Structure 1
Amino acid sequence: MTVVLALRCADGLVLAADSQITEPDRGLTYPAQKLHGLGKHAAWAGSGSRAVLYDLEQMFDAQPETIVEASDVGRALQARVVPVLQHHYENFIEDVPGQKTSGATPATYVLAAGYSDDKPFIVDLDPHGLIGHYEDIGFQAIGSGAPMAQQARALLSNFRMNQRPVEYGVIAALRVLHALDETSPTVGGPMDICRITPDGADHLSPDDIDEAGAQVRRWRDLERETLDRLFES
């Protein structure tokens, strides 16, 4: 299971992902980098076929600024992603003689967030090549863990992260990932987070993420203390 989520705050964006890859047909689970830079002011991550994502990573690394600086970032991503998807769809062998059907598929989702001409964007592409824009909504998640991430986001909606600084968005995103890590055996760390402002994209170090984790625990403790006092006269 993969979960990638993008969150908009008052002064920036957060893109976050887990790092666990699960291949049920081969009985394998291993960590892998899912979140990647997209020039100086954006980042992207994907869910689905590792073969497709590898090709996209090579392509995006070769020309990141031409994507982010395009007048329509969604169309710029679409123009590059769709041919790669079509190539893999056309060459995918669904039934392999002598092997059980594994359920493998080239279907892949892409989620990108950042700033283009100082304007924030949250854009995804689905396996059909369709573009979704979520900068106005302020949240999007992809991957098999996306429905649970959406539920977690709804539970945190009263904290109004879209009105708070991006530092709050970092701990909110990490709290969602931690919740999914606790409830799903196929979501796991280390967690990967990119904090993005008009000044640039900052990929958090393991120490930064550990510090954010301490803030998540403090947040939970404060909530518990508040609940303990709820019925005090």
Structure 2
Amino acid sequence: MLGYLFFVASVGVLCGLFRVRGLVIVAAVLLLAWPTIYGIRDDLREDRGVAVSQEVSAADQLRVDVQLAQVAAIDVPVDLRQPGPADYLRYGLLPRQLDPDRPPITTGSDINQFLGGSANSSYNFLTLGNVYFFGGPLGVVIFYVCWALVAVVLLRWRQAPGPARLSLLCFAMGGPLLWSSSYPDTMIAFIQYTVSALPVFAVLFATRMPGRVQADRRDRSLDQGGVSTRPAR
């Protein structure tokens, strides 16, 4: 939930929907209300027969630094046969109907087993920790430099971002760049999101082209000494 709220807040600030001051106030209110919300959640789980650990408090759930501290004691990088660039394309571009024999992605389960847990549970060190776990310090630098360049291109290339570029930026911020996501699974998810959105991008491009053609013709006529029919601003 915190990851989702962080994503909504970040995108809202970039789009001018929210002000930072208002987000700070909302964050403070949520922080104060979190123990009550956590207690209600546990009560609902117990009513449905789900075992709830009493050793983990509401404050413990916010200690994301514990997950990062845990990976700091591991000799990295670690090879758990995690997905690589070729797998990103295979799982991201090919529907399972065309590749039915490919194994499922089990990164979280593999990490949990590496830490001594069972295959029935999943664990991750958050995005930064997972990148460090699988790629080491150099992997962290390469990962964030590359995604920072992607974000800059999507935001500042030629002109303000339109629907397609803004959607791609959201895919990146809600996946690989989200602090609570699970790398490298989110690399595959980013490609899948993009492929799913291609029909929408095609419709946007097709409906935008006639307007752009008319604007280009109008600009050429003005360059040749014509008179603009557009109202003055």
Q: State the TM-score, normalizing by the size of structure 1.
A: 0.28
Q: Which has the higher strand share?
A: 1
Q: Which has the higher helix share?
A: 2
Select the structure of larger CA radius of gyration.
2
RCO greater where, 1 or 2, for CA within 8 Å and sep 6 or more? 1
